[in-house]
Structure 1
C-alpha cells in the first residue's frame, strides 16, 4: 500500500494544495478542501463522519451536512485516483466503520514534517548542539508558504490555523535567538524585521530584535524598535509594553538596576526578622565590625524590596553603600558586576578595577583595592541576583570574606536558590546560616493586598488572591492591581510578564514539562498537582528523564519538594494554562485525556481533562466513559455528573453510547435527589431494551413523586401498566407505586386511564 502513494505531496502550510508525481490534484470547493484538510491532518487515521461534519460546519450543521460529506468524499476520490473504475474500491481514500481514512504516510504531509523537524530540534537543544538545532529549525521554516490552511472554512481549520501559527512564531523566534547566540546578528536582524512587520504587536519578537541589534552594537536602532512598538501599542490597544520588553529596553540603555542603587520600593510589609538582621549588620559595620549576609529566595519573593527597605538609610551612620545586579549581559564581562558595585559606592575612584592579566593577579589586585577602600571607612557592598554574576566577580566576592573579620566591610548577596550551581560551592561553605525568605504569612499577604489594591477587595476575591500567590509578594502586587477584573477574565499582563520572566532562565524542555504539569493539575480553577507517571503518559518521555528535566524547577522553588508535582505558587500554573491560546489549550486537554486513559491512569484525571474548559468529548471519550462510569461515580460523583451532561449534549458521540451515558446520568441525578425527568424521558423514548425503558420511566415517576406532583407520577405508572412492555418485576414495582400514590390522587384513583384521540405520551415527548 505504501508504494501506491509514494508520489503524494500534501501541503497545508499555506494554500492547501496536493500533488502526485509532480502533477497538481484539483481539490474542488472550499468545503471540499476543508474535508481534505481534516483527513490530511489525520493522515492514515480513521476520521468519523461526525468529526468531518463538526470540522466543516461546527456545532450547528445543516440537515444536508452528512449528505454533503458523502459528495465531497466522492469528489476527492475521483481527484486522488482519476484512473480508478467507478465501481472499484478506493485505495488512497477508503471508508468503513462510519468514517474515512486517507492512506498517506505522515511525511507526505508538510504539517507532520514540520512537527517532526521541531521535535528533532528539541533533542539537539537538549544535547547542547546549537548548530544542529538551527539546521532543523531552518528546514522547518522552509516548509511554510503563507498562512496555514489559507482560506479553508470551518471551526476545525480555524483552530488548526491558530495552533500552527503559534508554532511557526515560536520556531521563528527560537531560530532568531540561535542566530544571535551564534554571532550571526545580521541574519537574525533581517529575519526579525520581516517578522515584526508581519506580526507588529508580538512583543517577544520585538524583544529578540532589540537584543540582536544591541548585540550588534546598534543601540540607537534597538531603541527605535522599542519606541515604535510603544507608540503602536498605545494607538491600537491603549496599553504599554510589558515588563519583559521594558527590561530588554533597560538593558539596551545600560540602566539595569545596578549603579544607581535599588529600585524604589513600592509597598513593603512583613519580614520583621529579616529587616532587623540586615539593619543590625549595617549598624555593626558602622561601628567597625564587618560581616556578610547571603539572602536567598525564589523569584518574586521580595529579596530586592527587602534590601531596599533595610538599607535605605545605611548612609546615615557614615557607611558608603554600593549596588550591583547580576544578569546575563553582565555575566559576559569579567568583574562587570563588581566594578558596577564598587564604583557606585565611590570606593574605586582613581583606581578602577582591572580584569586583565592572569587570574590570580586579578583577584589579588581587586581585593587589595577594596581593602584600601574599606580601611578608609565603613563599606557596604550589595550584589543582587548574585548567582548571575560573572565568574571573576564570584571569585573576588568569595576572597573578600577574609577581610570582613578585620575591616568594617559588609557583604550582602541576594539570589535565587541555585542549589545546583557548582560555581557557588565555596561561597556556600562561608554561609552556613544563609537567610532563606519564606512566603509572606497570610496576615502580611492580606496587608500587602489591601495596601496595593484600589480598595478593600471582597473576602471571596481576597481568598482567591492569597491562594493563587502562595505568599509571593511580586505575584500578590500584580494580582491586587487586577483585583477588580471580571472573574474568569484575562490575567493582568504585568503578572503574566513577571511569571514568564521568572520561568525564562529554564531550558525550553523544562518549560514544556512545567506546562504539562499545569494542564494535568488544573481542576476547576485550582491546581491540585499530578504525578511523574501521569506526566510521562502525556509527554511520552521516561519518568527518570522528567525528573531530570524538572530538577532545576524544584531547585528554584517553582515546584514543591514532595513526590507529587505541585506548583508552590498556584498563579504560575494559571499563567502556563490560561496563557496558552484557547484552541491549543482545548486540543492539549483532549489529547491529555486520551493519553491518560490509554495508559490506564486515574479515571478522575481523565474526567478533569475533559472538563477543563469547553472540551467536547469525542467518540473515544464516549466509549471510555461508558466503560468507567461506575468506577468514576464511586470516586468523584460531581465531576461524573458534569462530564455525563457534557457528553449527552455532543452529537459526535454515537447514538447507542449517548443513550447509555444519558441513562447513567439519569440514574446518578436521581440518586443525588436531583430532577431527572428530561434525561430519563429522553432515554425511555429511544430505548430498545424493555428493562431499560421501564427503569427510565420509573425514574420519571419517582421524580414527579418527590416533587409532590402525584398526578403526573400516576399518569406515568398507568401508561407503563397499559403498555405492558416492561418485564414482570418492573410491572410489580409500578403496581406498588400506584397503590402508594392513590391516597394523594383526586377523584377515583382506581379508574382506568383514558386518553383523548391524538394526545401525546407524556413521557415520550420529553427530550
Structure 2
C-alpha cells in the first residue's frame, strides 16, 4: 500500500505526496478526494459520490461529471515521471478506491487515538489516555473539510465537531482525576461560553472550581445554567449537577465526586437524568465500521426534517446488531426523551414478536398501562410517541409489515431497524435509508482477532491469521468464535493449524453456547427460507465456485429457470447471496462452507454430484477431464 500520500481533512483539504502539496482542483474535485480519503482503501461507488456531493439535488449529468472529476484527480495524484509507482486512485466496476496507509489520513488517526484513549481509561492508565487525547486534538488545523462542499461535508463537520468536543471533555475529566484543576479553568470557561447549554462542560467547570475551593464560582455557574435551561427548554439541570450544587451548599464538597466512567463509544452519554434507556450493552472490542458509522450519521442528519428510518441489513453474523447498538449509544444524547429497544425475534429460538406484542413492550417501557382492547393499539402507540424525541431500535426484524406497525407518525424520533432480510418495502413506501453490511476488511479483521488472542500471537502467525480472516470472509462473529477457540485451546498453535486443516463450520462452534455457533446462526436463516431457496442453497454446495450464475444454479438444482431465479433472489433477500451483476451472484466463504456442510449432513453430495456433473457435460456437449472443469464451464 503506498505510504507516500497523506491526506489532511481536519482543516483545509490537502493531499501531500513525498513532502509536496498536490493541486486538487475545484471544490467539487476536492470533495471527491475528501470522500475517498475518508473511506481510504474501501471502494466508494459512483452513486455514493453523487450522493455525497449533490444529495437529493443531483443533476442528470452527475455521474458523467464524477467520471470527469475522478479522471482529473487521478492525474493530479499520479507521480510525475515515475511509472514504477502504483496508482493511488484505482477504479473498477464497483467504484473508486484511494490507496493510502490508514495513518496517512488524519481523520482516521483521530478516531483511532480516541478509541485508544478510551481503552487506556478503562485500564486505569489515565496519564497515557491524556497523551492520546492530546495527540488527537493536535491533529486539528481548522474547520474540517475546508474547501470541500456538499451534504457529506456538512454531516462530517457536525460529527467531527461533536467528537472533538467530547475529546476535550474526556481530557478535562482525566486531568481532574489526576489532580490538575487549575490548568482547566480557563479552557473550560471558554468552552462553556461557546456551548452554554452543554451540561457535562458546566459540571466539569463546577468541579474544577470546587477542587480549587472557589465555591461561589461553582454556585454562580449552576444558577447561570439553570436560568438558561428553564427559560429556553423548560427543564431543570441534571441530577449530577444538582447533587454537586447541593453538596456545595451543605459545605460537603471539598472534593467533588468523580464523574461516571466514560462510555465505551466515542460519544459521551448526556441524557437528561431519569430518561428512559433500554439500549443493550455495547459490544466489547467493537472494531472497524468507521465508514458505516459515518454513513449512518450522515443519513440521520440528512433526514432530520422528516420521519427518519434507518435500515441495517446483511447476512447472519455480519454484525448488524453490534453496529446498530454502537450507533444508538453514540446518538443517544440527541434523543432526550429516551431510547427504546425491542428484539422482534425474526430468527432465533424464541417465537417471533407480533406487532401488538412489540407495542405492549414499548408502551410498558415508557411506564404506561397497555391500551384497553376496545382501543386501536397501534393508534394509541402513535399518539403516545408523537412529538417525543425518541431513539427506537427494532432489532432482528422479519418483515416490512412488522416494522411498519411500530413507526411513529411524527418526524421527531429516529428508528433504527436491523434485519437479515432486505425489507425493500420500507424503502419504497416508508422512505427508509439502508446500508447493507458485508464482512470487515483484512486489517480490521486482524485487529479484532488480536484483541482476543493477543497481538504477539497474531504477529508470530500473521500469514496463517490472514488466511483465517479471509476464510471467515471478515464475518465478525466467525472471527470472534475462531479467536476464542484458539485462545482457550491448550495449544493455540495447534488450534490455528486445526482451523486451516479442518471444516470451518465444525471449528466455528462454541461448546455450551449453541446460539453463538456458526451453524446455528446461519441455520436460523436457512430454516426461514422458502423450500426452493433452501434446495438451491444445498445444491450450490455441490461445487466450489464463489460466483454462480442462473444456468449453473439451474443445472445444480434441477429446477427450471424461473423457479431457480426466484430461489436465488430469495437467498439474496435473506443475506445468504450477493447479486454482483444481472443474474450473477456471489457466495461468501462461510455461506459456501455451510452449504457444503449441509450437503454432507444430509448425505446428498456423494449421491448427486456425479449426476450433476454428467448433466453439465451433456449441456456443454464436451467431457472435460475433471468435475471442477465441468462445473466451471457453465459458470
| TM-score bin (small chain) | 0.3 to 0.5
Per the normalisation by structure 1, the TM-score is 0.38
Higher RCO (Cα < 8 Å, 6 or more apart):
2
Larger radius of gyration, structure 1 or 2?
A: 1
